[in-house]
Amino acid sequence: MSGDLPSREVDNFTRRTEFLKDSTLKLNEITNQFIKNRIKKINEKNHRCKEESLYHGLKKDFNILLKGSPFILALEKAQGIFKLKTNVRDSVYRDWNLMDSPAIRGLNLVIQSVFGEVIKVNGVRLGVDKFEHFFGYGYYYFNLHYLGKKEVKKALKFGLFMEYFNLGAYKTGVMSYGDLAANFNGMRFWNHILAKRKDILNQNLGPYVKCRKGEWIVNKRVDWGQYVDESFDEAINCSRFRKGVMAKSVRERVREVNYKDGELNTCPLAPNKLKEMLKKYSHFSPYILNERGHGEIPKFMTWKLFHDL
């Protein structure tokens, strides 16, 4: 799973009514155990609370942009992480051809591929690919803004650029705003590790780790319920697509699916939840939320990505 995450999109529509047990408690347990084990290893090497060693070590554990992430391997093996899969041929993207989405359709020509697995965290359905974004690109954001002292918009625009050209629409046909929301909250997580700088939403949740007598200690436990919200759910925070015909086919397939009471048959399935996210993220919303539902990526956006960085 970790090796091909960038080519896997998520279908949060097709199996929406199927029961999916919440994995938050187990996810918290795994995450906090990794932090505990990492600081023990660092202390044994007598690095005397070097921040560089702490970040470097945790990146080895969590950063899914590096092959063979121990964190993802742990999720794959863990009892208590509950997942749903959707085959490409059953998904809302099944009408796309090879030219529409080289990554999705190309892979499906070789194997009967499935989309990225969906789990539930804090009551929210999200793809496991969001961990790649949370830890990996979240660290890029953190490094640019907090460590590199660049304006936060520089990091957010970098994320937009990567989602369009490197990870998203260019290869798969999908520009995922859920990925961008995961990036943003991952930046917050990395800042909360030591909490030396102000949280961008004024909700400092750390420090998770502190230095005491020359050694790192666990100060607080990570709770995924404080990071994951409906902005991660691509049925609420809708994706955009490279071509209008792709968006049209997805809208038609979304209308055919059965949903829970109170949910619509168009994206966003729950507009009120999206409104809550717009309020929460305020002036950062244009960089991580899509208010317009399923549609084609505006042509002006690609021009701005090139000229604003």
pLDDT of residue 155: 92
Q: How many CA atoms lie within 13 A of 41 on its CB side?
A: 14
Position 4 pLDDT exceeds 50: no
Position 304 pLDDT exceeds 90: no
Position 113 pLDDT exceeds 90: no
Position 193 pLDDT exceeds 90: yes
State the sign of the Cα–Cα–Cα–Cα dihedral 159, 65, 240, 298: positive
Position 302 pLDDT exceeds 60: no
Position 64 pLDDT exceeds 80: no
Structure tokens at 129: 């690919």
pLDDT of residue 108: 46
pLDDT of residue 110: 38
Secondary structure of residue 201 in the 3-state scheme: coil
Position 102 pLDDT exceeds 60: no
Phi, psi of 238 (to 5 degrees): -70, 145
Is there a contact between 155 and 165 (Cβ–Cβ < 8 Å)?
A: no
Cα separation of 153 and 141, whole Å?
10
Every domain of the chain and the residues it spans: 2-308
Position 290 pLDDT exceeds 60: yes
Average confidence score pLDDT of the chain: 87
Position 309 pLDDT exceeds 60: no
